């Protein structure tokens, strides 16, 4: 079922959005050569405690997961693109790091992600990140009352195609509310003018992620981390936004 939020409920979601935005800014600032992924997870966990927020990840145990996630952050490095399980790894010069973070405050969830190059960028990495950010921007512009869900998906797919990237539609955006993953699914490619009519009160996470060389992924032996089939690199950008009669409100704006 798709739940529409009242204007008061959307207002009540703002603290979670601002908190998630602040954690991602702190992680962006902290990500540097030599920093361990476990330290980044610990930083986010500390911020959760200080804000009396709740992690959406630590107890997350979907049917495809081998066990509860156990961390508060997804850290996906280089050929890892989504759901990266933080592990004992020190970031190296030129690593492409994607961090995905979701937490709730007062029972309302926000979910957001960004990608960053640590140290000196390798050829193509900044372009890849730019593509996901531009796709997210275009998708947000499209998230207005009167459009269809397919318009958002088509906007993302068009940006990917413009950069020459293929799109995997198995994992994409989703409804956000009192839980992290609700309906509707928001695919990262689709047909304009099709699908669910966008109405005021719809709160969704939009999350374009692209890989340079392929649209195929596989699950790492850790049971969580999704990696590109050909070893090429991935990037990921995500915001949670509310569709309103006055236009989209990006709850996780940084
Ligand atoms: Mg996310």
**CA of residue 250 to ligand 1 center, whole Å:** 14
**CA of residue 28 to ligand 1 center, whole Å:** 15
Q: And the tokens for 193? A: 């003018």
**CA of residue 192 to ligand 1 center, whole Å:** 24
Q: And the tokens for 84? A: 């990266």
**CA of residue 170 to ligand 1 center, whole Å:** 14
% pLDDT > 90, the chain:
96
Flag whether pLDDT at 66 surpasses 80. Answer: no
Domain chopping of the chain, boundaries: 7-250
What pLDDT shows up at residue 62?
A: 80
What pLDDT shows up at residue 1?
A: 86
Class in CATH terms, 7-250:
alpha beta
Position 39 confidence tier, pLDDT thresholds 50, 70, 90: very high
The arithmetic mean of pLDDT across residues 231-237, rounded, is 98
**CA of residue 29 to ligand 1 center, whole Å:** 19
**CA of residue 172 to ligand 1 center, whole Å:** 9
The arithmetic mean of pLDDT across residues 113-124, rounded, is 97
**CA of residue 18 to ligand 1 center, whole Å:** 15
**CA of residue 83 to ligand 1 center, whole Å:** 9
**CA of residue 103 to ligand 1 center, whole Å:** 10
Model confidence pLDDT, tens digit, residues 157-209? 999 999 999 999 999 999 999 999 999 999 999 999 999 999 999 999 999 99
What pLDDT shows up at residue 67?
A: 82
Position 61 confidence tier, pLDDT thresholds 50, 70, 90: confident
Chain position carrying tokens 């640590």: 118
Position 77 confidence tier, pLDDT thresholds 50, 70, 90: very high
**CA of residue 246 to ligand 1 center, whole Å:** 25
Model confidence pLDDT, tens digit, residues 122-151? 999 999 999 999 999 999 999 999 999 999
**CA of residue 99 to ligand 1 center, whole Å:** 8
What mean pLDDT, rounded, does the chain reach? 96
**CA of residue 108 to ligand 1 center, whole Å:** 14
What pLDDT shows up at residue 190?
A: 97
**CA of residue 102 to ligand 1 center, whole Å:** 6
Model confidence pLDDT, tens digit, residues 223-232? 999 999 999 9
**CA of residue 118 to ligand 1 center, whole Å:** 20
Q: How many CA atoms lie within 13 A of 14 on its CB side?
A: 6
**CA of residue 58 to ligand 1 center, whole Å:** 13
Flag whether pLDDT at 34 surpasses 90. Answer: yes
What pLDDT shows up at residue 63?
A: 78
**CA of residue 3 to ligand 1 center, whole Å:** 19
What pLDDT shows up at residue 78?
A: 98
The arithmetic mean of pLDDT across residues 14-42, rounded, is 98
Please state whether beta strands 234-236 and 108-117 pair in parallel, antiparallel, or not at all (unpaired): unpaired
């Amino acid at each position: 079922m798709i739940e529409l939020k009242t204007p008061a409920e959307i207002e009540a979601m703002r603290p979670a959005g601002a908190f998630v935005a602040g954690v991602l800014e702190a992680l962006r600032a902290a990500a540097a050569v030599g920093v361990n992924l476990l330290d980044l997870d610990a930083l986010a966990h500390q911020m959760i405690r200080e804000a009396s927020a709740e992690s959406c990840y630590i107890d997350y145990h979907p049917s495809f997961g081998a066990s509860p996630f156990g961390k508060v952050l997804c850290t996906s490095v280089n050929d890892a693109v989504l759901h990266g399980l933080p592990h004992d790894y020190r970031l190296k010069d030129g690593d492409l790091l994607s961090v995905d973070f979701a937490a709730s405050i007062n029972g309302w969830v926000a979910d957001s992600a960004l990608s960053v190059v640590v140290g000196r960028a390798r050829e193509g990495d900044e372009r890849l990140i730019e593509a996901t950010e531009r796709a997210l921007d275009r998708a947000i512009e499209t998230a207005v009352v009167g459009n269809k869900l397919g318009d958002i998906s088509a906007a993302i797919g068009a940006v990917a195609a413009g950069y020459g990237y293929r799109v995997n539609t198995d994992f994409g955006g989703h409804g956000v509310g009192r839980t992290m993953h609700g309906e509707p699914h928001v695919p990262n490619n689709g047909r304009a003018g099709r699908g669910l009519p966008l109405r005021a009160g719809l709160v969704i996470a939009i999350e374009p992620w692209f890989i340079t060389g392929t649209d195929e992924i596989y699950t790492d032996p850790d049971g969580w981390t999704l990696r590109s089939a050909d070893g090429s690199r991935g990037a990921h950008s995500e915001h949670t936004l509310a569709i309103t009669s006055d236009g989209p409100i990006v709850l996780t704006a940084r």
